Structure 1
Amino acid sequence: MSGAHKSGALLEVSGLSVDIPTEAGVLHAVRDVSLAVRRGETLCVVGESGCGKSLTSLAIMGLLPPSAQRRAHRLALAGEDLQAAPARRLRALRGDRMAMIFQDPMTCLNPAWTIGNQLEEIFTWHGKGNRRAAHDRAVALLERVGMANAAGRLSQYPHQLSGGLRQRVMIAMALMCSPDLVLADEPTTALDATIQLGILQLLAELQAELHMGLMLVTHDLGVVARIADRVAVMYAGEVVEEGPARTVFTAPRHPYTRGLIDCIPQPDRMVPGQRLGTIPGMVPSLVGEVQGCAFRTRCAFARPECAADVAPRHGPDAHMWRCVLPPGMLERAA
């Protein structure tokens, strides 16, 4: 990613890595990830399950398990160094300046507290107002995420809500303090297709209203096509391609990105009975030394030089990709 794109960014991540010790060796779960999010911008991080998307978000928030080891050249929110910030300062930032919408609300909501207690606590703990103001804010946000009888829901416990309603509570909770940055980890997983669209539209509206940055982790490229300004494609713990959404979708430079796009159903372009694209093979193990392009064992374009470390290449509009193929080869193959 070019320096021009990073300058003025709300979130700056450069050279982020996460290592996790295991009995078999060190798992290099996130490898040299660099990305940025500006105010009012949506960055979608996509890739198969297990490619490091969620761990990248947790590393940014400082919510990794104790055994995990995080390091980065730079990790900053609005210019503030998150690596150098003491634990007390990080607690003050989380929920206030930056917030996260987790994928599984049942494991994140406290079963012993009512919905109202959990929403209002965030607001008052960060000094945004008194309990009455917190109550009014909670009701307003629950209404905005589409919950009927929002005021009545505040006295209920998480187990009394469906999975979709719990996810709406998580979204409202993340927005209680009007954060500058929201990290959303598969925020619509528990919702049906119609509600998914409504939630995504809500996030887009709130983003415009609050001028916040949004980093959305997902494996649904249909979602990405609707709302992303920029896309970061992750594979085996690293970003293999990153750039403007339109550029990445229309002119992908990495074979993995091309493979993901080919897996999207396109009714207007497909004939009856035509098979969807597939990506053969499996994601390689990231335990121990990892060298070269991790996708080479599944890539139809692999060549000997792929076994060596592949330096990032750059194109217009801060488009970055890690591949030795000359530009244009993927388009000709497609």
Structure 2
Amino acid sequence: MSGAGDIVLDVQNLEVDIPTPGGMLHAVRGVSLTARRGETLCIVGESGCGKSLTSLALMGLLPAIAARRAERLSFAGEDLLRAPASRLRALRGDRMAMIFQDPMTCLNPSLTIGDQLTETFLRHGKGNRRSARDRAVALLERVGIAGAAGRLGQYPHQLSGGLRQRVVIAMALMCGPDLLLADEPTTALDATIQLGILQLLAELQREMRMALVLVTHDLGIVARIADRVAVMYAGEVVEEGSAAVVFDAPRHPYTRGLMDCIPQPGRTPPGTRLGTIPGLVPSLVGDMQGCAFRGRCPHAMPACTEPVAVRGDAEGHAWRCVLPENALERAA
């Protein structure tokens, strides 16, 4: 599921396997994605569907026990699968950056904000300590932190959750990356702060012309800022396309189920009972055959037990389902 353009990230058939006492866990299965400069790609799905592991695999930050494979994994035309560890370290934090989940825990409590902001800048040889400090102050101001210079001497526990999240964003931007991965960047924040963080990310993405890959389970976030959407279920991408097309005309029953679970402004009357997706996510341990969603799908048929190929149209909308294209519209 990919397309043309000024591609920064190109992933084809990414797999992540983790051995467990019960057998091999196939956590990420055949994921293909592209991210273009100046574009926001949102990876969406239920908790446990493989979104965060996919982002960690892209950065080469998987735990040692996990095995990563792919047909292609390239950044700005550079093959990351064959790159030595030293080259990956040079790219991470410099041209590839990541905002991790939960700002409450991803900052080092024993180091000042200033030390943590300037470390990456200095390590990648972007300048001396003075220029690193100036860059840190400028970015803290850019992400909306007042009195930025005075914040450099503070420790994480002295900042609120919203301020810590803004510090984490500033830290990821210290070296001006071409690719920014944001893994659930607003999960621990209240709704008002969430909106501000999302608007900030969108502004910075446009200003710096980064490729932004946002991992989330919140379709409201996706509707606000996404250019393209990749819907994941049970470790694989089941639908991908432009945000407008996926929201207006989903082709996979799982995507339709997610849409039915949230109220649509101007469409859902007050008091309307929202939809649900019955059943449980299947185990990803051992071999899997056919569509992983068939046990929860109201449209399941015998063909769903066989391997399901990816289908698509000329506009770049792709989905993994055997249903006719207009079946979900008729059902709705």
TM-score of the two chains, using structure 1 as the length reference: 0.97
Q: 1:153 Cα deviation (Å)?
A: 1.3
Percent of matched pairs sharing the same residue = 77
* 2:306 counterpart letter in structure 1: A
Aligned to 1:310: 308
Q: Matches of 2:205 and 2:127 in 1, distance apart?
A: 22
Q: 1:111 Cα deviation (Å)?
A: 1.7
Q: Matches of 1:47 and 1:100 in 2, distance apart?
A: 19
Question: Any residues of structure 2 matched to 1:158-307 within 5 Å, and which?
Answer: 158-307=156-305
Q: How many corresponding residue pairs?
A: 332
Question: Which runs of no fewer than 5 residues in structure 2 stay unpaired?
Answer: none
Instruction: Tell whether the 8 Å contact from 2:5 to 2:36 is kept in structure 1 after alignment.
Output: no
Aligned to 2:134: 136
1:10-35: CA deviations, max 9, x gaps?
10000000000000000000000000
Instruction: Provide the secondary structure at the position in 1 that maps to 2:87.
Output: helix
1:26-63: CA deviations, max 9, x gaps?
00000000000000000000000000000000000000
1:312-333: CA deviations, max 9, x gaps?
0011211110000000010111
Bigger shift: residues 254-263 or 270-279: 270-279
* 2:182 counterpart letter in structure 1: A
Instruction: Provide the secondary structure at the position in 2 that maps to 1:146.
Output: coil
Instruction: Provide the secondary structure at the position in 2 that maps to 1:296.
Output: coil
1:270-326: CA deviations, max 9, x gaps?
233211111111111001111110000000000011011101001121111000000
Q: Matches of 2:268 and 2:199 in 1, distance apart?
A: 28
Q: Matches of 1:16 and 1:272 in 2, distance apart?
A: 42
Instruction: Tell whether the 8 Å contact from 2:56 to 2:62 is kept in structure 1 after alignment.
Output: yes
Q: Matches of 2:152 and 2:187 in 1, distance apart?
A: 23
* Compared CA separation, residues 321 and 140, structure 1 to 2 (3 A): same
Instruction: Tell whether the 8 Å contact from 2:45 to 2:216 is kept in structure 1 after alignment.
Output: yes
Instruction: Provide the secondary structure at the position in 2 that maps to 1:10.
Output: strand
* 2:72 counterpart letter in structure 1: R
Aligned to 1:80: 78
Instruction: Provide the secondary structure at the position in 2 that maps to 1:11.
Output: strand
Q: Matches of 1:190 and 1:146 in 2, distance apart?
A: 18
Aligned to 2:57: 59
Instruction: Tell whether the 8 Å contact from 1:45 to 1:232 is kept in structure 2 after alignment.
Output: yes
Aligned to 2:42: 44
Instruction: Tell whether the 8 Å contact from 1:167 to 1:190 is kept in structure 2 after alignment.
Output: no
Bigger shift: residues 99-108 or 171-180: 99-108
Q: Matches of 2:205 and 2:329 in 1, distance apart?
A: 34
Pick from 98, 101, 105: which aligns with 1:103?
101
Aligned to 1:11: 9
Q: Matches of 2:249 and 2:104 in 1, distance apart?
A: 39
Instruction: Tell whether the 8 Å contact from 1:17 to 1:70 is kept in structure 2 after alignment.
Output: yes
1:79-136: CA deviations, max 9, x gaps?
0011111111111100000000001223322222111001011111111111111111
Instruction: Provide the secondary structure at the position in 1 that maps to 2:154.
Output: coil
Instruction: Provide the secondary structure at the position in 1 that maps to 2:315.
Output: helix
* 1:272 counterpart letter in structure 2: P
* 2:222 counterpart letter in structure 1: V
Q: 1:197 Cα deviation (Å)?
A: 1.8
Instruction: Tell whether the 8 Å contact from 1:75 to 1:83 is kept in structure 2 after alignment.
Output: yes
Instruction: Provide the secondary structure at the position in 2 that maps to 1:207.
Output: helix
* 1:112 counterpart letter in structure 2: S
* 2:57 counterpart letter in structure 1: A
Aligned to 1:90: 88
Instruction: Tell whether the 8 Å contact from 2:14 to 2:32 is kept in structure 1 after alignment.
Output: yes
